[in-house]
């Protein structure tokens, strides 16, 4: 029985270490998620300095999270850890695309393929948000650019025809992205048609004004035919 107690003590020691690592990971994951959220908010507000600061903080937190869980791969691949890293991907990709910069790679972000793609799927919603902000001020080529990026992301997502156990539920995220893109395409089309209509009305008003004198009365010539 003495040997059994020794075995139990070793297990307790391992459990204590794993519990401590898990608690640290949970705290780091919450901090990482918050930094990513603030970075995205700054990007939408075009606050480049604040965005960069939050991305730097998120990068440090993500690196610390990976280091803390290096010896605990099961905790690293747990849902809360991967969800936080997915937010990390979303923040970096969103900020880069809104700023017109190159998309960061999985290697640069230190994440696996499934986490990267799920994070990328979330970017579609953020690009829609940015597009709607732009359309509030009228149609713009920037909205078309963002829609093109959304289409590019969807094209990659829909090509990943693998089981959910491999992609971590990417298929559902892909369906959501498709719905978001179609709504955004409709919004852009509506805005473009509205602009065309406004331009047509403006031209018509100019033509009508050109046919009037300074007193606002028509200067057109009326021909009256006398009876023979």
The answer, as to whether pTM is greater than 0.75, is yes
User: What phi and psi values does residue 145 have, to the nearest 5 degrees?
Assistant: -65, -45
Q: How confident is the model at residue 74 (pLDDT cuts 50, 70, 90)?
A: very high
**7-64, pLDDT tens digit by residue?**
999 999 999 999 999 999 999 999 999 999 999 999 999 999 999 999 999 999 999 9
How far apart CA 36 and CA 79 sit, in angstroms, is 17
**96-137, pLDDT tens digit by residue?**
999 999 999 999 999 999 999 999 999 999 999 999 999 988
User: What phi and psi values does residue 212 have, to the nearest 5 degrees?
Assistant: -120, 150
Q: How confident is the model at residue 209 (pLDDT cuts 50, 70, 90)?
A: confident
The residues, any chain, with a CB within 8 Å of residue 65's CB and separated by 6 or more, are: 25, 28, 29, 32, 81, 84, 85
For residue 221, pLDDT over 50 is answered with no
Contact 154, 124 (CB under 8 A): yes
Q: Which of 139-143, 180-184, 211-215 has the lowest mean pLDDT?
A: 211-215
For residue 196, pLDDT over 70 is answered with no
């Amino acid at each position: 029985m003495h040997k059994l107690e020794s075995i139990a003590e070793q297990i307790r020691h391992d459990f204590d270490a794993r519990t401590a690592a898990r608690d640290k990971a949970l705290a780091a994951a919450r901090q990482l998620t918050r930094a990513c959220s603030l970075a995205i908010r700054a990007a939408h507000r075009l606050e480049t300095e604040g965005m960069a600061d939050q991305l730097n903080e998120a990068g440090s937190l993500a690196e610390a999270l990976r280091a803390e869980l290096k010896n605990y791969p099961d905790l690293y691949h747990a849902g809360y850890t991967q969800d936080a890293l997915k937010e990390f991907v979303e923040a970096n990709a969103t900020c880069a695309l809104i700023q017109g910069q190159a998309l960061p790679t999985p290697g640069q972000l230190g994440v696996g393929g499934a986490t990267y793609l799920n994070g990328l799927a979330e970017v579609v919603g953020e690009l829609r948000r940015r597009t709607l902000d732009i359309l509030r001020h009228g149609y713009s080529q920037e909205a078309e650019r963002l829609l093109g990026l959304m289409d590019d992301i969807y094209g990659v997502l829909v090509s990943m025809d693998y089981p959910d156990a491999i992609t971590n539920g990417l298929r559902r995220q892909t369906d959501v992205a498709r719905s978001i893109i179609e709504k955004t395409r409709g919004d852009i089309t509506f805005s473009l048609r509205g602009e065309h209509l406004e331009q047509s009305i403006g031209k018509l008003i100019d033509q009508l004004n050109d046919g009037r004198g300074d007193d606002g009365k028509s200067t057109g010539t009326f021909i009256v035919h006398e009876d023979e």
